[in-house]
Amino acid sequence: RIALAALVTRRRQLIDMAVAEKNRLEHAPAVVAALIGETLAAFKAQLARVDAAIALAIEAEPDMAERRDLLLTVPGIGEVSAAVLIAELPELGAIDDKKLAALVGVAPIAHDSGIWRGQRHIAGGRATVRCALYMATLSAIRCNPAIKTFHKRLRDAGKPPKVAIVAAMRKLIIMINTILKRQTPWNQPQQHGC
């Protein structure tokens, strides 16, 4: 699992460096643009090697391969988000939903004092996991019927877009937690109890 975590971290670093280079490319003179292009090609090649190494690392461990296969049954979860969840959230499937939501950083934190009731905000948690979950949730809002319906209901009720997305993130991670606890693939009827 340590090697997988290192590979996932390296993948994220390559993406960040590629984004920085692409931003530089926008304002670079032609002579520098060619050099940036070479760097971007090198990043792309290394990213392909890292993705292959991540797939091999997961495949080499039967437990991780089983977790990946279960995660990939969830509409919205792809290879990258599955790898991040396996590498950086080993507690997934082994802790209760409230602790998991807090660990990921999608649990609403109360800001109350005495009789005063403040707004709830998310805070803390594992930022890298939250970023992967955010991207997976955007995909799930389009292709996962349970998340799509849940998100639409919140938006129709007047919830702001970000609030609805964070709530959908929380629902998705709880669904995933249930799937891994039960060791059963995702299917629409089963998820009504989540």
> Would you write out the chain's pLDDT as a tens digit for each of its 194 residues?
789 999 999 999 999 999 999 999 999 999 999 999 999 999 999 999 999 999 999 999 999 999 999 999 999 999 999 999 999 999 999 999 989 998 898 877 665 566 756 666 666 788 899 999 999 999 999 999 999 999 999 999 999 999 999 999 999 999 999 999 999 998 864 444 33
The pLDDT of residue 192? 40
User: Cα(173)–Cα(194) distance, rounded to whole angstroms?
Assistant: 10
Identity of residue 25: L
The DSSP secondary-structure symbol of 29 reads -
| 155 Cβ contact list (under 8 Å, min separation 6) | 161, 164
The DSSP secondary-structure symbol of 193 reads G
pTM: 0.84
User: Cα(173)–Cα(1) distance, rounded to whole angstroms?
Assistant: 20
Do 104 and 95 contact (CB within 8 A), yes or no?
Answer: no
Secondary structure tally for the chain: helices H, strands E? 8, 2
Domain residue extents for the chain = 2-60, 76-193
The pLDDT of residue 193? 39
The pLDDT of residue 64? 95
